[in-house]
Structure 1
Amino acid sequence: MSQSLDAREKPGFWDEATTQLKGRDRILKKLIPRHESEWLGPSTTPFVTLARAIVGHQISVKSADTMWKRFTEACGRHPSPRSVIEAAETDISHTGLSKRKAEYILDLAVHFSEKKVVPSRWQTMEDEAVVAELCSIRGIGRWTAEMFLIFNLQRPDILPLDDASLLKAISLHYFSGEPVSRFEAREVAQAWAPWRTVATWYLWRSLDPACVRY
């Protein structure tokens, strides 16, 4: 999510996390100071966060932003389950989404509209319980659920090992560009706990100055 210079919008754990990470990890000690005036900012509604994550799955940040812009032109600047369902009644393909992603977002809208999910419960649920509930929705896998935990619920210790950009950054900074396995990435990340979300965020930024938004 985009950042703010307003400290009131900074996650309460952020300063402690960055201090500890800089003291534990030689790579983060260099990366964090490059973005010290930036942080994971507040997200939007649970529905929009999930819809945007579905749109952005397995494509570049730039492509995802372009596709999201087209989607919001069709479904409203702040899409709601109702606006998505109404768009589907005409032709949701006008949003520029692939047929499969359009189907996934429509199914998500139906889940929210028919109250098959209760977002207010997620704030107090354990990480894995939220992942399990979200993954029961068609089109939402572990990666999308973990993006939700990071960007919407702002959980401090999420390590999205299915994220290609995270693996690329770990490869670049810790393995001299050599391919890295999920096991190796998990080993590196042990030193980051309980702040793996924060470490992940800075590693993303090391690859792309444009901040991911969900």
Structure 2
Amino acid sequence: MPSSRSGRTHKPPYDTARAIAELSVADPKLGRLIERWGPFTMRLPATQSPFEALAESIIYQQVHANAARAIHSRMIESFHHVCGIGNHPSPEHILDCPNEQLRKAGLSHNKTLALRDLAAKTIDGTVPTLAKIKKMSDEEVIEHLVQVRGIGRWTAEMLLIFRLGRPDVLPLDDYGVRKGFALTFLGLKPTQKVTPDLLATKEQMLKRAKKWRPWCSVASWYMWRACDLAAGKLPAE
């Protein structure tokens, strides 16, 4: 997921040292990957409302990060006259503005529709407030968010992991997690051309994930790091 505009970050709201220790004991193969990569360094951006975080996610979908960042900035700047410099537009602002304003910022027709649907469903309560989300299970959050146009299960799972700091999310459809799993547990070689049949299946991942509960988010993070290692990337000192 894109990072928050403020640049401020904080640690996840769970005991990451305990998570690493328990995962390493429960799954020695994963433990070797953890030892090879090193510390769990995931940081969460400064808290945003679900509306702001999901609006940003919609803008970033299927667009290069630099282009998405520019579109997002232009969109926010276009509302300075109504909500002040540096402030994110509210759902009401999005619904009240003309389509031309959003299109001029660089949003496609489909993303404009998705952003308006997100705004409407935030106002009617389909998208819960942050306070309500904190009292909901992961599946309850996903069930609510996927009702928004342009928000699928994967986007909701990324919000849970990288914005809300939920510790036990396993994004089964994520390409990087599936590839990292194959590299770590299924014998996929870093130099092999990856074809769909070489990636981990949902069944394989769910079976192994029984060892990872309640720390699937941490295990998933290390699956992404397995992909980094295969690509020759090393952890920052």
TM bucket (normalised to shorter chain) is 0.7 to 0.9
Relative to structure 1, the CA distance from residue 142 to residue 88 in structure 2 (aligned partners, 3 Å threshold; closer, same or farther) is: farther
Structure 2 CA distance for aligned equivalents of residues 173 and 68 of structure 1 = 33
Residues 51, 127 of structure 2: 8 Å contact kept: no
Unaligned runs of 5+ in 1: none
Output the amino acid matched with 1:47. Answer: F
TM-score (norm 1): 0.78
Aligned length: 205
Residues 52, 88 of structure 2: 8 Å contact kept: yes
2:193 equivalent in structure 1: none
2:44 equivalent in structure 1: 41
Q: Which has the larger radius of gyration?
A: 2
Higher relative contact order (CA 8 A, sep 6+): 1
- Give structure 1 regions of 4+ aligned residues with deviation exceeding 6 angstroms: none
Relative to structure 1, the CA distance from residue 106 to residue 124 in structure 2 (aligned partners, 3 Å threshold; closer, same or farther) is: same
Q: Deviations over 1:139-163 (max 9, x none)?
A: 2221122122212222111111121
TM-score (norm 2): 0.72
Unaligned runs of 5+ in 2: 78-85, 189-197
CA RMSD of aligned residues (A): 3.1
Structure 1 CA distance for aligned equivalents of residues 178 and 146 of structure 2 = 22
Relative to structure 1, the CA distance from residue 204 to residue 93 in structure 2 (aligned partners, 3 Å threshold; closer, same or farther) is: farther
Match for residue 131 of structure 1 among 124, 131, 142: 142
2:31 equivalent in structure 1: 29
Deviates more, 1:120-129 or 1:84-93: 84-93
Q: Deviations over 1:151-207 (max 9, x none)?
A: 222211111112122112112222122232111122222211110011112222333
Structure 2 CA distance for aligned equivalents of residues 155 and 47 of structure 1 = 18
Q: Which has the higher helix share?
A: 1
Q: Deviations over 1:28-84 (max 9, x none)?
A: 323334341612324531222222333344x48xx2353133222222466333554
Tell me the percent identity.
32
1:11 Cα shift?
A: 2.5
Deviates more, 1:156-165 or 1:201-210: 201-210
Match for residue 193 of structure 1 among 204, 213, 219: 213
